[in-house]
Structure 1
Amino acid sequence: MKLLAFVLSALTAASAAHAQSCPDLTPYAKARETIADLGRIVAPEGVQEQYKTRIGGVEQWVNVRGQDRANPIILFVHGGPASPLIPRLWQFQRPIEEYFTVVNYDQRASGKTFREDSSDALGETLKVERYADDAIELAQYVLKRYGKKKVVLMGHSWGTIVAIRAALKRPDLFYAYVGIGQVINVRTNEKVSYDFAVAEATRRGNTEAVEELKKIAPYPGDTPITRERIIAARKWAQFYGGLTAYRESSQYFYDAPLLSSDYDAQDACAIDKSNVFTLGRVLPEFLEVDYSKVTAFPIPVFMFMGRHDYTTPSVPTEAWLKTVKAPRKQGVWFEHSSHMIPWEEPGKLLVSLLQYVRPLAVDKKTDK
């Protein structure tokens, strides 16, 4: 599971070689059983379900967990593209499940959903608008299935591109929006990330890094932003903590599916395969993403920002949040996080959700 799976970080390591072999999970069998047992929701009023349902013409896998069905629901839109959260939930989500029912899903051409349909015809549908419509359709399904009026919409990394679009199209479905590792303007992000990498490499006297980064200067500039140029820029930004703060690598994330009872070996293998399948198809549209022109947001918006995030840098997000008009808005800085806030500061994530978001998501008739 060494394929970097967030849309920018993924480009630094995506290769067909990673997609050819599936992991042997036999050595992890006992650990997988232990983690599964710990994660079992045994509260009588709880919910623990995993199933597939047809969304946007594709059978998509959904995971629902919570200690009390009466709690508000979070619909979590994962990053990538094709970087599903379901096999990684065991690492951080359990405390959140005491206060929210959390719905995760493997997006089209991602993880378990990729195993349902990996056709060329599906590849033609991989557009931001289609992903957003999927999120909307899933929200409607969840509301009906669990008897709720609205849900909280939360996105991470690539998922923030999808989720913002969904919120703008159907604000009536959502109590609030929470962006984690928010993408506002991709080209701005590229420049901020590159400049950070150059500054850090220069400060630390890393001549190898400086020379590699010089080869793509000016970046992004007017030259097309190719996969190869992104690889060169991302390599050193992430090495200096731009993915996980204070760390040169983030193996805890990549290997997490090996220990998840929600994924078998073929599912784990599908993560890398779906990443390779997806990246080239979404890259042109991804590079043109620009939400800086959105001056009004129809629902309360909360941005959870990693101080050290140079995968989707937080400075453009902070600037956007200061100018956008919304019924309510709040930026929350995570001082010891980079791009991986749920893993890096899970305690503060929970406290922030309880302080800012949950009070807006309580339906007096059905929720607690």
Structure 2
Amino acid sequence: MTIILLFLAALLVAGLAWLFAVSPGRPDPLRDAAGNVIPGSISERVTLDIGGIPQGMFIQGVDPANPVLLFLHGGPGMVEFFMEQEHPTGLENHFTMVWWEQRGAGISFSPDIPAKTMTVAQMISDTVEVADYLRTRFGQDRIVLLGHSWGAYLGIQVAAAAPDRFLAYVGMAQIVHQLESEIMARDYMIKAYRARGDEAMARRLEGASVSMEAGTSPEWMRLRDGAMHRIGVGHTHDMDSVITGIFLPMWRVRAYTVPEKINIWRGKLWSRPFFWDALIRDDLRNRLTEFALPVYFFVGRHDQTANPELSRAYFDAINAPVKSFYMFENSAHSPLFEETERATMILLNDVLAGTNALADAR
């Protein structure tokens, strides 16, 4: 028994030593193919006072003169800089990429944030303030705004409220009416698991209620993410586990310290309750269809987190100077990270040019 305990203690010490070694709390510099730091490139973390509290972001780009792209992560409260490490996009070669971590999330989490400020209106104000900082710092009149999932729910409202700040709005996995999407996802998964012969999971999903009247039950929320990932309709089409696909990779990201990695999960748990009930019941089709800037939707064919049919119906109802819809056939919830080459081509050739040459034919 003593030998076993000593062995376990040694493993724990080794694990903690590894964790601290891969957690210096700063992003790695950008390097060329030969491993040399690219002269004039940016790879930094910045903390600013935004909306009265310190908020952080990671900024990376090979040339500060490139267009700025502000990425709004999902959640609420779920940061995504780790995705750039696990599924490199290479967008820092074309854009100055800004991975802002929103109020209450990641390096912007603090238990001292006043709960009364955790509102969509404040999040919209924060986003505009971040955009103004970036516009001033990089000398650009307008920047690109890309929102993912919850970030798309937030981002499209920002785009409507402050179109003069943005060259274009890109909604990835665009939320429309999330409660309707949850109901559709449950129906889809019951059929999918039954078709796979997994009657036990199908019955568990049937017992996890989701309805327009009662919303999302605790049973559904406990089953939802795991069940989605097991059949490839969650965060990415090839991700079959939240643990191996999200939880473990997050601990390997060098840009965070160990306490900050813990705060990523604290922030996710803390942020979500402020927004979830209102988010799922808000139907954007009924109140937000007129835009004064180009609007682009990136949608994954296999996405059951934000239903593709709802995204398409919403897109069809939108009026904008330019609008384009792109279905990514091999993606689930994260086309930018799943089909990077096509997403990059669209960003460079359609979004920056303000055109829709690569858009799907209706």
TM-score (normalizing by structure 2):
0.85
Q: Is 1:226 matched up with 2:217?
A: yes
Q: Is 1:283 matched up with 2:276?
A: yes
1:28 Cα deviation after fit: 5.3
For this pair of structures, how many residues does the alignment match? 334
1:185 Cα deviation after fit: 0.8
Match of 1:96 in 2: 91
Match of 1:174 in 2: 166
Distance 1:77 1:195 in 2: 29
1:88 Cα deviation after fit: 3.7
Change (3 A) 1:51 1:95: same
Taking the TM superposition and a 5 Å limit, the aligned residue runs for 1:150-165 are 150-165=142-157
Does structure 2 conserve the Cα–Cα contact (< 8 Å) formed by 1:39 and 1:94?
no
What is the aligned-residue identity percentage?
27
Q: 1:67 aligns with which of 43, 52, 62?
A: 62
Does structure 1 conserve the Cα–Cα contact (< 8 Å) formed by 2:65 and 2:138?
no
Distance 2:121 2:71 in 1: 17
Q: Deviation per CA, 1:181-221, whole angstroms, max 9, x where unpaired?
A: 1101112211221111111012112111121122135x324
Does structure 1 conserve the Cα–Cα contact (< 8 Å) formed by 2:87 and 2:338?
no
> Which letter does structure 1 place at the counterpart of 2:232?
G
Distance 1:199 1:143 in 2: 48
Change (3 A) 1:316 1:145: same
Does structure 2 conserve the Cα–Cα contact (< 8 Å) formed by 1:238 and 1:311?
no
Shifted more, 302-311 versus 350-359: the winner is 350-359
Shifted more, 73-82 versus 230-239: the winner is 230-239
Taking the TM superposition and a 5 Å limit, the aligned residue runs for 1:313-328 are 313-328=307-322
* 3-state SS, counterpart of residue 141 of structure 2: coil
Q: Is 1:137 matched up with 2:132?
A: no
1:104 Cα deviation after fit: 1.3
Change (3 A) 1:246 1:262: closer
Q: Is 1:211 matched up with 2:203?
A: yes
Change (3 A) 1:193 1:296: same
> Which letter does structure 1 place at the counterpart of 2:187?
D
Distance 2:169 2:60 in 1: 20
Q: Is 1:52 matched up with 2:47?
A: yes
Q: 1:331 aligns with which of 311, 325, 328?
A: 325
Q: 1:127 aligns with which of 91, 107, 119?
A: 119
Extract unaligned runs of 5+ from structure 1: 1-22, 362-368
Does structure 2 conserve the Cα–Cα contact (< 8 Å) formed by 1:157 and 1:181?
yes
Match of 2:253 in 1: 260
> Which letter does structure 1 place at the counterpart of 2:105?
S
Change (3 A) 1:123 1:72: same
* 3-state SS, counterpart of residue 241 of structure 1: coil
Shifted more, 128-137 versus 232-241: the winner is 232-241
Distance 1:61 1:207 in 2: 46
Does structure 2 conserve the Cα–Cα contact (< 8 Å) formed by 1:45 and 1:68?
yes
1:62 Cα deviation after fit: 1.6
Q: Deviation per CA, 1:99-156, whole angstroms, max 9, x where unpaired?
A: 1111111111111111xx312x522221111111110110011111111101100011
1:37 Cα deviation after fit: 5.2
Does structure 1 conserve the Cα–Cα contact (< 8 Å) formed by 2:19 and 2:258?
no
> Which letter does structure 2 place at the counterpart of 1:184?
V
Q: 1:344 aligns with which of 338, 350, 360?
A: 338
Does structure 2 conserve the Cα–Cα contact (< 8 Å) formed by 1:238 and 1:310?
no
> Which letter does structure 2 place at the counterpart of 1:255?
L
> Which letter does structure 1 place at the counterpart of 2:333?
H
Q: Is 1:237 matched up with 2:231?
A: no
**RCO (CA 8 Å, sep 6+): is it higher in 1 or 2?**
1
Q: 1:300 aligns with which of 290, 294, 302?
A: 294
Extract unaligned runs of 5+ from structure 2: 1-13, 356-362
Does structure 2 conserve the Cα–Cα contact (< 8 Å) formed by 1:257 and 1:263?
no
Q: Deviation per CA, 1:150-190, whole angstroms, max 9, x where unpaired?
A: 11000111111111111111010001001111101112211
Q: 2:190 aligns with which of 195, 198, 201?
A: 198
* 3-state SS, counterpart of residue 103 of structure 1: strand
> Which letter does structure 2 place at the counterpart of 1:213?
L
Does structure 2 conserve the Cα–Cα contact (< 8 Å) formed by 1:71 and 1:101?
yes
1:230 Cα deviation after fit: 3.0
1:252 Cα deviation after fit: 3.0
Does structure 1 conserve the Cα–Cα contact (< 8 Å) formed by 2:30 and 2:62?
no
* 3-state SS, counterpart of residue 333 of structure 1: strand
* 3-state SS, counterpart of residue 341 of structure 2: helix
Taking the TM superposition and a 5 Å limit, the aligned residue runs for 1:26-41 are 26-27=17-18, 39-40=30-31
Q: Deviation per CA, 1:66-108, whole angstroms, max 9, x where unpaired?
A: 1111111001111111111234432344511111111111111
Distance 1:356 1:32 in 2: 38
Change (3 A) 1:311 1:224: closer
Distance 1:230 1:323 in 2: 30
